[in-house]
Structure 1
Amino acid sequence: MLTTPTRRTHGIPLPWGNAYGLARTLLALGTAGTLAFSSTATLFRPVVTLGEYPLCKGMASGGAFCLVPRGQFDLLRWLCVAVLLLVASGWRPRITALPHAYISFSVFSGIAIGDGGDQITWILSLLLALVALGDNRRWHWRTPAPRTDDEPTSRATRFRALLGASAWTVARLQMAILYFQAGAAKLPHTEWADGSAMYYWANNSSFGFPEWLRPLTDLVVYSPVGMAALTWLPIALELALAASPVMSQRARWVLLPLGIAFHLGIALLMGLWSFALAMAAGLLLLLSPVGHHFPFLSPDRSRKRQTPSCAPASPGDASPATPEPAAAGLTSLTRLEAPSI
């Protein structure tokens, strides 16, 4: 007699797809770029009213650049770049998780030219470390091992899955709050309300649009309709991204390329490349299902699969063969029984 596996009502998604791996890679590349393409003298210098960076006060004193003499900053900077490139490669996420979070903290707390992207990177890399510590794959690009609903799992595995899924959820809430604050904070200001704010940003001495793009951007900047759209569309997109946790997954997939294009546009026009990479990583966590796996990023996606069958393996076998889930599917559909805590 064939039996049907008991349905588990208290399940959690497995978080170890390559979507979170791609987010880790983007975060690591952003920080590596900051360290590699900025000189030590630029990163660590005096700031008026604050002092010489790194300040090494309070919690910041635990940063890597506070633990070595100033003369060794160059060596430490390149060592951090090497570790970050290893993180970006996806090798052994369980091993590289904490070094990644520590370097992100050291850069955010230690450099004199930090921006919002460095803070976002530190927060997200810390949360993703909780996901990566439970990831026993050799590479974070690999297809997760398929599981069936009736396959027994250890208490440790259930706990690691719960910890990782919870950290991902907190990251999603963090990004939603960030976008809400970014959109809502603009509304009371006259320049954003009347559609002229981007005119002033375009001509800002520090973050203005690059000269080589001026022939193209001036067509928009000096057009009333173009300038209004350039000012109001980002607000609408930011508020939509803030509301994305309550939207359908179909709507989130529409918002993902729009959000990434938005931040790439900011990077191109204002030069904030590390910020763009940090926000793109945040968008992946905000808009992808927990544990999502992109099939086009899997190095082993061409591996042969067994043909699903519901027939018994042999005439004397009383149990049906269990279909193997396609590796290209969402790992968020694979559930684990939640531990009782």
Structure 2
Amino acid sequence: MGRSMLALATLSVVVATPDSALFPYLTAQPDGPRCDGLRSLSLWCVGGGSPAALTIARVATVFVLVLVVVGYRPRWTCVPHWYATVSIGVSVYLPNGGDRAAQVATLLLIPLCVGDHRRWHWKTPTAPLAPWSGGSAYAAHLVLRLQVAIIYGHAAVAKLTESIWRDGTAVHYAMQDAYFGAPEGFLRLVESVPGLVLALTWGAVVLEVVIAVAILGGPRTRTVALTCGIALHTAFAVAFGLISFGLVMISVLTIAHTRSR
């Protein structure tokens, strides 16, 4: 489920975003995708960056991601999934914040999937992984959980260094942001309830701390982390429109929550 959701998040960006928005003109930057250094190996750069090449890259990316979404042959699609995710993440000039997490997650999914012989990843496994594959899968899953703990722990600590988070007004200012701000009606509703802005501000910090700690625990504790993550990112999606970012992070939490075979 988490793997399909992760691919769906990237797929939604690729399908719904035109080249002009993926690779907008920026001062002192060349037109098209970023192709400097190792980025030249990106799927969006290997064809030279022409309109035809970008179309081919988009079609190839969609093809790979659709295979992952439907769950076909995880053993054979895990590496293309990682490459497609990294390619879009390193080639755009304005990443959405979840790109890095998706790149790490798809990389760590390779050891989890390379020994999976199922035709569809929706099917219940009928046999355990081979010892060599099971060990690498366990290690990759543990590293992913550590990565999630670092992401949310760092986010919580970073917030606490800012006075607007400590005094409980950060959500007020965030909802008035010109780009990510909440709809006016929603903003009025939130601010009409005494203490709600304070509760939402500190609630975000508390949820991030809980996620960072709980994701390192056992299956039941990780369920707490997943539940908190769904609540947190659903709220962010409703208030700030961070839908793609939220879907990526919920997907990563879902994968981290699932026990490795």
Which consecutive unaligned segments of at least 5 residues does structure 1 have?
Answer: 1-21, 148-152, 292-341
Q: Establish whether residue 134 from structure 1 lines up as the match of residue 107 from structure 2.
A: no
Contact 2:23 2:31 in 1 (8 A): yes
Structure 1 Cα separation of the partners of residues 65 and 162 of structure 2: 39
* Counterpart position of 1:95: 76
- Maintained 8 Å contact 2:211/2:224: no
In 1, the alpha carbon distance for the partners of 2:27 and 2:109 equals 34
2:7 is matched with 28
**CA pair 260-245 structure 1, distance change in 2 beyond 3 A:** closer
Aligned to 2:106: 125
Name the amino acid aligned to 1:243: V
Give the Cα separation in 2 of the matches to 1:128 and 1:251.
22
Per the alignment, in what secondary structure is the counterpart of residue 161 of structure 2?
coil
Find 1:65's aligned residue among 44, 58, 63.
Answer: 44
TM-score, length-scaled by structure 1: 0.72
| Higher relative helix content | 2
Which residue is 2:228 aligned to? 258
Deviates more, 1:96-105 or 1:137-146: 137-146
Residues 172-191 of structure 1 deviation map (CA, whole Å, 9 limit, x = unaligned): 10000000000010102110
Check whether the contact 1:91–1:138 (CA below 8 A) recurs between aligned residues: yes
Greater displacement, 202-211 / 73-82 = 73-82
Q: Of 205, 208, 224, which residue of structure 2 is paired with 1:238?
A: 208
Distance in structure 1 (CA, Å) of the matches to 2:35 and 2:181: 33
Q: Residue 217 of structure 1: CA displacement?
A: 4.0
Distance 2:157 2:256 in 1: 18
Q: 1:165 aligns with which of 138, 144, 160?
A: 138
Quote the offset at 1:266 in angstroms: 1.2
Match of 2:86 among 88, 105, 109: 105
Number of residue pairs matched? Answer: 259
Max radius of gyration: which structure?
1
Deviation digits for residues 283-323 of structure 1 (CA, Å, limit 9, x no counterpart):
113333334xxxxxxxxxxxxxxxxxxxxxxxxxxxxxxxx
Q: 1:248 to 1:160 in 2, by over 3 A?
A: closer
**Cα pair 1:202 1:221 within 8 Å, conserved:** no
**Residue identity in the other structure for 2:258:** S
Question: What is the root-mean-square deviation in Å for CA atoms of aligned residues?
Answer: 1.8
Deviations 1:177-227 (A, max 9, x none): 00000001010211000000111110101000134xx2x442223444000
Q: Give the 5 Å matches for 1:131-210.
A: 131-146=112-127, 157-210=130-183
Equivalent residue, structure 2, for 1:309 = none
Q: SS state of the match for residue 159, structure 2? A: coil
Instruction: Provide the identity percentage.
Output: 34
TM-score normalised to structure 2 length: 0.93
Ranges in structure 2 where 5+ consecutive residues have no aligned partner = none
Q: Is the 8 A contact 2:137 2:260 kept in 1?
A: no
